[in-house]
């Protein structure tokens, strides 16, 4: 508490305190006001930390971000963006249908598993964890057996930045960009038209 208040530290055995220039960022998935009421969290610590509060919605509350986040996780993987790993539309649809109780950490692990389990540079539904696969298979009305096209609702959830990034990575080649984006051609062209990208 003293450190947060004064921004000074004293090394063990030292006689002088030293000022440090730091910013503290703290994160939690708990309701700290409720924790204070039950005396599970110190109020004096809360009020020293609580300068700016940023509420982040869960991943299931911002499903439209999932394609972009998954793409970033693939690009940041050890194989690197030059590998141009793409995602099957059914795999992407499953990821958007799943509730992600573990939020971004769970999404990251699912992407890592898919890349490890896959046989090439294209992630398919079967490469994803079983729980994620079941999210799509549990919604037969949204997917016809054997179909590789995303439902239009899902195509509508893909962001403009996701499409622009795919176009950039494919050097403007739309057929390649559709594969990079993990969308069928019809879904990709639907988004091109929607965002007036040509």
pLDDT of residue 77: 63
Task: Give percent of the chain with pLDDT exceeding 90.
Answer: 23
110-161 tens-digit pLDDT:
998 888 887 767 888 889 999 999 887 655 433 333 333 334 334 445 778 7
pLDDT at 63: 84
**DSSP assignments along 135-179, one per residue:** HHHT-GGG--TT--SPPHHHHHTS-HHHHHHHHHHTTT-HHHHHH
Residue 81 scores a pLDDT above 60: no
Give, in order, the Cα–Cα distances in Å from 63 to each of 69, 96, 177: 10, 6, 21
Q: What tens digit of pLDDT does each residue of 19-72 get?
A: 999 989 998 888 999 999 999 999 999 999 999 988 888 888 888 888 888 888
Burial state string for 54-85 with b = 16 or more CB within 10 A and e = fewer than 16 = eeeeebeeebebbbbbbbbbbbebeeeeeebb
pLDDT given for residue 82 in this prediction: 52
The reported pLDDT for the residue numbered 154 is 46
In the predicted structure, residue 166 carries a pLDDT above the cut 80 = no
Round to whole Å and give the CA distance between 113 and 107.
10
| pLDDT value at residue 152 | 34
Q: How far apart are CA 28 and CA 146, in angstroms?
A: 42
């Amino acid at each position: 508490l003293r450190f947060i208040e004064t921004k000074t530290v004293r090394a063990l055995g030292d006689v002088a305190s030293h000022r440090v220039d730091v910013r503290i960022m703290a994160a939690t998935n708990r309701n700290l006001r409720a924790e204070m009421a039950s005396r599970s969290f110190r109020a004096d610590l809360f009020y020293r930390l609580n300068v700016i509060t940023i509420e982040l919605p869960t991943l299931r509350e911002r499903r439209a971000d999932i394609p972009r986040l998954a793409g970033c996780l693939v690009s940041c993987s050890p194989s690197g963006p030059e590998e141009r790993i793409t995602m099957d539309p059914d795999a992407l649809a499953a990821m958007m249908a799943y509730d992600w109780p573990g939020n971004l950490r769970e999404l990251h692990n699912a992407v890592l598993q898919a890349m490890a389990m896959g046989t090439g540079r294209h992630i398919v539904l079967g490469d994803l964890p079983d729980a994620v696969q079941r999210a799509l298979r549990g919604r037969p009305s949204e997917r016809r057996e054997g179909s590789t096209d995303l439902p239009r609702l899902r195509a509508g959830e893909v962001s403009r930045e996701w499409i622009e990034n795919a176009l950039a990575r494919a050097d403007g080649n739309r057929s390649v960009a559709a594969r990079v984006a993990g969308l069928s051609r019809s879904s990709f062209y639907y988004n091109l038209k929607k965002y007036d990208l040509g």
